[in-house]
Every structure is written in C-alpha cells, then in structure tokens.
C-alpha cells in the first residue's frame, strides 16, 4: 500500500464487486485503475464548480498519460440543482461525444453530485462505468456507499432513483481541509448516529476525541470514517433495498426530516446532519418515555452532540418562527416519512447506546412530547 493509502475495502453488494480506497492525495488512482479496466478511452469528469481548480490536476495528468480523452463538466452543488435539467446536460455531453457502455464517468463532489451523476451513470445506455470521488464528509461515509442514486423531482426529495454501484470509490482526505464547518459537523452527526445504532466503542472514541476530530487530525479521521463506512456496509449487505436492517441507518431521520422541512420553507436552517442531530435527541426522549428509562441515554446523546457543536434544541424565535406554528408544522410533516407503513410511523429507537431497534407502535402522544421538548421559544 502506498504511504498515502490508509485503508482499502473490497465490497460485494448485489452482484457488484468494487473497492473503496481511503487515503490522502490519491485521486490519480482513478486514472491508473480505469486504464486497466476499460477499453474505451473516453471519460467524463463531473466536478463541483467549487473544486474544479483545486482537485483535478493530478488526475488529469494521470488520465492523459494513460491515453484517455477527458471531458469535463462542472456544476454548482446544492439540493436545488439535483434535478432532471442538470441530469439532461450530462446526458447531452455523453450522447454528443459517443460515450459507450465501457466509457466512464467520474463524479467529484458532495452527495448532490454523487447522487445525480450516479443516477445518470445508472441510466445512460442502461448503465455505464462510474467512479465516485466524494468530497464532503457526508458523501464519504454515507451517500457514496450503498448504491442509492437519485434526483429530486418538484418538491419530492430523491423521487426518481435507482440502485447502482461504482467500479471504484476513492475517499481522499485532501477534500476535508476546505470543508466549511457546517458541512464537517453535518457529516460528524451521521458518524455519531452510526455509533449509537451499533457501536459503543466508536461512541466512546467520539466522546473522548472531539478536539482531535474537530481539528481534522488525520489518524482520528481514519478511525471514525473507516468505522462509519464498515457500519454502513454492514447494514446494507443483504438489505440494499431497505427492507429491514438498512432502516436502522435512518436513526434520527424521522423527527429530523420533519424539522428540516418545517424550518426550511424559505431557506435552509438546518443541514441534513444538523436535522439528524435534533432527530436523535427526540428519538432518545421517545425511547425514555416508551421504555420507562431514566434520563441517562438522553443525556449521553446531548452531551456528545454538544461537544461537536451540533444542535440539540430548535430555538424558534432565533429563526423567526412562532413556536406553536412550528410544532404544528412538524407534526404535519412527520407523516411524509418514507418509512411509514400505512397509518403507522416506524421509529428506530435506542435500547442502549450502541443498540437500536425498530418500533411500529409509538403512540402519537410521545411524538408530540418529543417535538415539545425539542422546540423552544
């Protein structure tokens, strides 16, 4: 292994086999890898507008050395652009340049680019070669793993989608350096989530190493990212289509989504990870009341989330909301949850830190109480 390559996973999901590489300054690996894999020498790089000047040089050199004809398409990330119009622009580049099934697309960006480009790769000619190079923490440990690809349609998030795996996934920590604080913390919320659903040792590590992690100290990032990736893979293997075990990865999402949607009518108040942070606190409160626990699990949640500067309450006034109205909105929006079965919401609740289960019969009263706890004046 080169000294820049810290870890390598061989993944088998559905009928696909591919590798995940974790390292620093390793994106040129994509060029070497493709040279040995594909006969066609056309490759399209779709890259976040923000990253086009910083990330590409080494990769371009390598691809050119290997004889590839490289096309570059940039666009601005952000959920408003994860749509069919942006997908059409990529289809146009592929079609007008005679891309074939064994040509390739490399997606360099956060979850928006990964999901959108993954969707295009899965549908163009019924599937062409794809390499993910995720550049946000969320994309590294979550969206680029597990095969879900999608675009939003009108008001519905991820309305049109597919399951599609890449040939290679390169997780390169060079990208963490430029990440805004909010994006870093949003990704950390998902890692905390992973620890609470199934890994007490990871939870303890996160609790004791917050300073190193928030300073992006490399060995601590390798520890938490590789564990989060292993957890995601473990929950996806055998349940790619989210029938059972994979559902647990949605811990904190049911209440969290309702808060994100209800507060984000005019502009985004909470990034997804920040919503998940709030949702986990709410779920811990529901677990306390549903299973007659003391406050221990709830306090542990709040303690670790605060260490990472993640929200544990929604201060309605601060964002210009009237508390009673926001409560009502949240109670309405929670019914849009995709995990709902008929007229029952499904909740993932912590039995202890490091173990969660799925419950189908949480009384409405407890859901209401959770929002009342989370949403302050």
Ligand X SMILES: NC(=O)c1ccc[n+]([C@@H]2O[C@H](COP(=O)([O-])OP(=O)(O)OC[C@H]3O[C@@H](n4cnc5c(N)ncnc54)[C@H](O)[C@@H]3O)[C@@H](O)[C@H]2O)c1
Residues that bind ligand X (CB under 6 A): 48, 50, 77-79, 82, 109-113, 115, 135-136, 138-139, 142-143, 146, 148, 158, 175, 178-179, 183, 186
Closer CB to ligand X, 228 or 327, in the complex: 228
User: CB-wise, 115 or 199, nearer to ligand X?
Assistant: 115
Q: How far is the CB of 232 from ligand X (least distance, A)?
A: 9
Query: In the bound complex, which residue of the shown chain has the CB atom lying closest to ligand X?
Result: 111
Q: Count other C-beta atoms under 10 Å from residue 328's C-beta.
A: 13
CA-based nearest residue to 261, from 371, 336, 160: 336
Tell me how far, at minimum, the Cβ of 192 lies from ligand X, in Å.
Answer: 15
Closer CB to ligand X, residue 158 or residue 333?
Answer: 158
- Name the minimum Å distance from CB 191 to ligand X: 13
Query: How far is Cα 334 from Cα 367, in angstroms, rounded to an integer?
Result: 9
Contact 13, 240 (CB under 8 A): yes
The CB-of-310 to ligand X minimum distance in angstroms stands at 14
Task: Find the shortest distance in angstroms from Cβ 48 to ligand X.
Answer: 5
Smallest distance from the beta carbon of 252 to ligand X, in angstroms? 13
DSSP 315-351: ETGGGT--HHHHHHHHHHHGGG-TT-BTTB--EEEEE
Minimum CB–partner distance for residue 64 and ligand X (Å): 24
Write down the least CB distance from residue 333 to ligand X, Å: 16
- The whole-angstrom separation of Cα 206 and Cα 212 is 10
Q: Residue 191: helix, strand or coil by DSSP?
A: helix
Cβ closer to ligand X: 186 or 350? 186
CB of 108 to ligand X, least distance (A): 9
DSSP letter (8 states) at residue 264: -
Quote the CA–CA distance of 74 and 72 in Å, as a whole number. Answer: 7
Q: Which residues of 100-117 are buried (b: 16+ CB within 10 A; e: fewer)?
A: eeebbbbbbbbbbbbbbb
Q: In this structure, what are the phi and psi dihedrals at residue 107, rounded to the nearest 5 degrees?
A: -100, 115
Query: For residues 185 and 277, what is the distance between their CA atoms, to the nearest angstrom?
Result: 10
Tokens 């502009």 found at? 267
CA-to-CA separations, 247 to 91, 318, 349, 356, in angstroms, rounded: 32, 33, 11, 11
Chain-centre distance for alpha carbon 232: 10
- Measure the CA–CA gap between 288 and 376, rounded to whole angstroms: 20
Q: Which is nearer to ligand X, 20 or 113 (CB)?
A: 113
If the CB atoms of residues 81 and 207 are measured against ligand X, the closer one turns out to be: 81
User: By C-beta, is 34 or 249 nearer to ligand X?
Assistant: 249
CB neighbours (10 Å) of residue 25? 13
**Angstrom distance (rounded) from CA 245 to CA 234:** 9
The nearer residue to ligand X, 132 or 288, going by C-beta atoms, is: 132
State which residue, 188 or 327, has the beta carbon closest to ligand X.
188
């Amino acid at each position: 292994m080169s000294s820049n390559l810290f870890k390598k996973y061989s993944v088998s999901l559905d009928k696909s086999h591919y590798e995940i590489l974790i390292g620093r300054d390793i994106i040129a690996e994509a060029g070497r890898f493709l040279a040995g894999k594909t006969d066609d020498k056309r490759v399209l790089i779709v890259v976040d507008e923000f990253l086009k000047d910083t990330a590409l040089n080494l990769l371009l050199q390598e691809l050119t050395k290997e004889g590839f004809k490289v096309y570059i398409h940039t666009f601005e990330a952000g959920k408003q652009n994860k749509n069919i119009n942006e997908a059409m622009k990529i289809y146009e580049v592929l079609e007008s340049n005679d891309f074939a099934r064994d040509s390739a697309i490399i997606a360099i960006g956060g979850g928006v680019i990964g999901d959108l480009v993954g969707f295009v790769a899965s549908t163009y000619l019924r599937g062409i070669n794809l390499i993910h190079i995720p550049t946000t923490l969320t994309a590294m440990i979550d969206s680029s793993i597990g095969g879900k690809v999608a675009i939003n349609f009108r008001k519905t998030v991820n309305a049109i989608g597919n399951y599609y795996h890449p040939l290679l996934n390169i997780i390169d920590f060079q990208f963490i350096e430029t990440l805004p604080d909010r994006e870093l913390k949003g990704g950390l919320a998902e890692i905390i989530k992973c620890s609470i659903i199934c890994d007490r040792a990871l939870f303890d590590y996160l609790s004791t190493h917050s300073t190193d992690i928030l300073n992006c100290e490399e060995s601590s990032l390798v520890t938490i990212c590789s564990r989060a990736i292993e957890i995601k893979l473990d929950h996806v293997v055998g349940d790619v289509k989210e029938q059972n075990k994979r559902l647990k990865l949605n811990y904190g999402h049911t209440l969290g989504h309702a808060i994100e949607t209800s507060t984000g009518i005019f502009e985004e108040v909470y990034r997804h990870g920040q919503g998940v942070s709030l949702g986990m606190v709410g779920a811990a409160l529901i677990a306390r009341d549903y299973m007659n626990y003391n406050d221990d699990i709830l306090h542990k949640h709040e303690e670790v989330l605060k260490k990472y500067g993640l929200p544990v309450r929604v201060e309605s006034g601060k964002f210009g909301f009237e508390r009673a109205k926001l409560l009502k909105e949240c109670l309405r929006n929670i019914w849009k949850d995709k995990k709902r079965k008929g007229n029952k919401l499904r909740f993932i609740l912590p039995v202890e830190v490091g173990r969660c289960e799925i419950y189908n019969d949480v009384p409405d009263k407890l859901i209401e109480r959770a929002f009342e706890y989370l949403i302050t004046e």
